[in-house]
């Protein structure tokens, strides 16, 4: 949830303020109570804004608390220059909120303040209603969650392990543009660091990780492409990434993998899957966004989606469209977080549905692919892509479907059965998707989070490209 500032703007006449301060406080109390009940942390202005000096001092007090979004609250007529002065000290996004109680002209105050902000080009959102209206609180929460996601990007560091994979332009972004538009720095790290650190990792720890996987998942050793030694090498690669993340203070990452590591060392499927999971053999942890093929725009999209949802984020290729079922096969090596097997925070429940298969001929170095079928449910699918150098968020609603075992087997055999799959029905015609979508990789989170992502686009000045069946 988000950190929200609340500042009540009032009338500048002392004799008027004496008669309305309790009225304002009553509505502010209700608003704060409902926002906190929704899970947000609320930072209240120290006092109602009744003068120019109070406007600047209270705004600075709230801004110093590092809020994601500030609500300027209008329960009464409010001097418009108080809005201007308050907003001038608040660097983040603003919501102007009016009550709908006709006893006092709060709506007039909001319109006057909002119009003044329009004149100077200060972006803001306007909302109105009773603070006990759950729909109003949800609308504020949507905006606040988007603001928190955007603010969370600024000052963060992306670790790119390796360079461009297999000539993929869509996987490589301009570091200058990222810093300018998103406030994200890019740290370049060689893939040799994974190999070096994996070899040097504690043998007992690598063994423990292998045994945990053998206990909870189904491991299909073949003595060639997948052996206990190769699986421990993959566990070591995961441990190497955890070291790099901690030492370089990396907020999210991407691993090139192909072709060097997959040809000469081991596939990165174990590392990528378990970095994105909320657990490993050492217990619970926070998911760390890691994109395969060092996909920078993919990782950036995943980071935004994770900050919106709090869940792991699915990464996949758009592998195939089954026209007879109106279903897309979303599949990409072992990148799918195992959390999606059952959408459970209990690793045993998820891994009971996970198979570790010997890797396919694309990856001669071998190792395990992390195979499962994604659990069903409503999904939001999205990706940041670039058109003529400008970022756009390609956004759509859909669901993951569940089939019986025979149907699953039939469908996986049509592509790569050793890899994970999600059967996705997307709310847009296949012709529209294939004509417009700007990458081969796509990302998804549970539920309908389109409202938050629309707000993210507005806050980042990113073009919204929403796909629908209409």
DSSP letter, residue 171:
G
Residues 199 and 82 in one domain: no
340-352 tens-digit pLDDT? 999 999 999 999 9
Per-residue pLDDT at 451 exceeds 90: yes
DSSP code per residue over 228-248: HHHHHHHHHHHHHHHHHHHHH
Beta bridge partners of 396: 381
Tokens of 49: 């804004």
Task: Give the span between the Cα atoms of 424 and 438, in whole angstroms.
Answer: 18
What's residue 335's pLDDT? 77
Look at the pTM and tell me if it is higher than 0.85: yes
What's residue 411's pLDDT? 96
Write the Ramachandran bin of 174: left for phi over 0, alpha for psi from -120 to 50, otherwise beta. beta
Residues 292 and 373 in one domain: yes
Per-residue pLDDT at 219 exceeds 80: yes
236-267 tens-digit pLDDT? 999 999 999 999 999 999 999 999 999 999 99
- Cα 55 to Cα 46, 62, 86, 87: the distances in Å are 10, 11, 5, 9
Residues 186 and 276 in one domain: yes
Task: Give the span between the Cα atoms of 304 and 104, in whole angstroms.
Answer: 40
Domain with 268, as residue range(s), is: 157-466
Residues 222 and 283 in one domain: yes
Task: Give the span between the Cα atoms of 350 and 344, in whole angstroms.
Answer: 6
Confirm if 398 and 381 have CB atoms less than 8 A apart.
yes
CATH of the domain at 93: 3.40.50.1070
What's residue 284's pLDDT? 87
Residues 70 and 209 in one domain: no
Residues 240 and 127 in one domain: no
Residues 40 and 176 in one domain: no
Q: Within a 10 A sphere around the Cβ of 216, how many other Cβ atoms?
A: 17
Residues 107 and 15 in one domain: yes
Nearest CA to 148 among 40, 35, 296? 40
Confirm if 290 and 276 have CB atoms less than 8 A apart.
yes
Write the Ramachandran bin of 333: left for phi over 0, alpha for psi from -120 to 50, otherwise beta. left
Residues 196 and 246 in one domain: yes
Confirm if 94 and 122 have CB atoms less than 8 A apart.
yes
How much is the average pLDDT of 399-406?
Answer: 97
Per-residue pLDDT at 88 exceeds 70: yes
Residues 170 and 198 in one domain: yes
Residues 134 and 204 in one domain: no
Q: Single out the residue in 121, 153, 185 at which a domain terminates.
A: 153
Q: Single out the residue in 153, 169, 199 at which a domain terminates.
A: 153
What domain count does the chain have?
Answer: 2
Residue 182 CB partners (closer than 8 Å, separation 6+): 153, 154, 300, 460
Residue 204 CB partners (closer than 8 Å, separation 6+): none
Residues 161 and 149 in one domain: no
Give the least confident one: 202-206, 214-218, 334-338.
Answer: 334-338
CATH of the domain at 206: 3.20.14.10
Q: Single out the residue in 153, 185, 211 at which a domain terminates.
A: 153
């Amino acid at each position: 949830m988000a950190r929200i500032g609340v500042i009540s703007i009032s009338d500048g006449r002392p004799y008027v303020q004496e008669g309305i301060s309790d009225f304002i406080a009553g509505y502010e109390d209700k608003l704060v109570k409902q926002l906190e009940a929704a899970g947000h942390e609320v930072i209240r202005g120290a006092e109602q804004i009744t003068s120019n000096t109070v406007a600047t001092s209270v705004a600075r007090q709230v801004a110093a608390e590092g809020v994601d979004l500030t609500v300027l609250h209008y329960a009464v007529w409010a001097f418009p220059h108080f809005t201007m002065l308050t907003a001038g000290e608040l660097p983040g996004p603003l919501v102007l909120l009016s009550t709908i109680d006709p006893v006092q002209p709060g709506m007039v105050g909001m319109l006057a303040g909002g119009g003044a902000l329009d004149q100077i080009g200060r972006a803001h959102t306007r909302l109105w209603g009773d603070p006990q209206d759950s729909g109003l609180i949800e609308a504020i929460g949507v905006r606040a969650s988007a603001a928190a996601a955007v603010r969370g990007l600024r000052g963060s560091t992306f670790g790119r392990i390796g360079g461009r994979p297999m000539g993929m332009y869509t996987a490589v972004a301009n570091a200058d543009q990222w810093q300018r538009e998103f406030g994200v720095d890019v740290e370049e790290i060689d893939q040799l660091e994974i190999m070096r650190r994996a070899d040097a990792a504690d043998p007992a720890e690598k063994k423990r990780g292998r045994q945990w996987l053998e206990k909870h998942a189904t491991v299909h050793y073949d003595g060639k492409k997948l052996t206990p030694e190769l699986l421990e090498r993959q566990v070591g690669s995961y441990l190497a990434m955890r070291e790099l993340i901690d030492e370089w203070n990396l907020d999210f990452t991407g691993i090139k993998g192909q072709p060097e590591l997959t040809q000469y060392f081991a596939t990165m499927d174990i590392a990528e899957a378990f970095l994105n999971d909320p657990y490993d053999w050492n217990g619970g942890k926070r998911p760390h966004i890691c994109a395969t093929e060092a996909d920078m725009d993919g990782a950036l999209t995943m980071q935004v989606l994770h900050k919106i949802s709090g869940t792991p984020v699915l990464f996949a290729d758009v592998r195939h469209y089954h026209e007879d079922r109106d279903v897309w096969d979303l599949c990409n090596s072992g990148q799918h977080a195992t959390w999606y097997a059952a959408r459970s925070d209990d690793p045993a429940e998820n891994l009971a549905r996970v198979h570790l298969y010997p890797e396919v001929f694309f990856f001669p170095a071998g190792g395990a692919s992390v195979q499962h079928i994604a659990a069903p449910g409503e999904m939001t699918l999205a990706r940041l892509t670039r058109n003529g150098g400008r970022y756009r968020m390609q956004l759509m609603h859909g669901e993951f479907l569940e089939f019986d075992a025979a149907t699953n087997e039939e469908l996986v055999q049509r592509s790569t059965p050793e890899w994970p799959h999600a059967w996705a029905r997307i709310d847009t015609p296949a012709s529209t998707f294939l004509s417009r979508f700007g990458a081969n990789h796509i990302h998804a989170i549970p539920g309908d989070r389109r409202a938050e992502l629309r707000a993210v686009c507005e806050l980042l000045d990113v073009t919204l490209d929403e796909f629908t069946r209409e």
